[in-house]
Amino acid sequence: QESLVNGGIFSVNVNVSLFETNIRVLGGLLSAHQLAVAYLENQVPGEDVRNGSGKVIIGTVPSKSQIKKVKDAQTCKLEDGCIKSKPLKSKIHSEVEKEGFNLSEMNCNNDTDTQVDSETTFWTYDGFLLELAHDIGKRLLPAFQTKTGIPYGTVNLLHGIPNGESKIASLAGAGTLSIEFELLSRLTGDESFGNAAKLATRALWMRRTKKNLLGKHINIEHGSWTETLSGIGSNSDSFYEYLVKHYLLFPEDEDFWTMFMSSYYGVHNESRLGEWYGDVEMNAGRSGSSRRVFESLMAFYPGMQVLLGEVSPAAKTLNGFFLVREAVGLLPERFNYGNWKVEGGNAGLHPLRPELLESCYFLHKSTEGISSMRSNSEPSGHSGWLWAADYALYAIYWHTLAKCGFSSITGVSPEATGGVPNKVRRQNAKRVDEMPSFFFKEK
State the catalytic residues: 20, 237, 333, 355
Rounded to 5 degrees, what angle do the CA atoms 115, 117, 121 make?
125
Contact in structure between 357 and 56 (CB atoms under 8 Å): no
Q: Which residues, at least 6 apart from 263, have a Cβ–Cβ distance to it below 8 Å?
A: 205, 208, 212, 214, 239, 240, 243
Distance CA 175, CA 165 (A): 18
- Of 312, 316, 304, 309, nearest in space to 273 by CA: 316
Distance CA 145, CA 143 (A): 6
The three-class DSSP label of residue 408 is strand
Contact in structure between 172 and 239 (CB atoms under 8 Å): yes
CA of 413: how far to CAs of 324, 347, 425, in Å? Answer: 10, 10, 10
Sign of CA dihedral 323, 328, 333, 337: negative
Sign of CA dihedral 393, 358, 137, 199: positive
Contact in structure between 62 and 217 (CB atoms under 8 Å): no
The three-class DSSP label of residue 293 is strand
Distance CA 194, CA 250 (A): 11
Distance CA 93, CA 90 (A): 5
The distance from CA 288 to its chain's CA centroid, rounded to whole angstroms, is 33
Distance CA 193, CA 180 (A): 9
Q: What is the DSSP string of 72-139?
A: -GGG--GGGTEEEE-----HHHHHHHTTT--TTGGGTT--EEEEE-TT--B-----HHHHHHHHHHHH
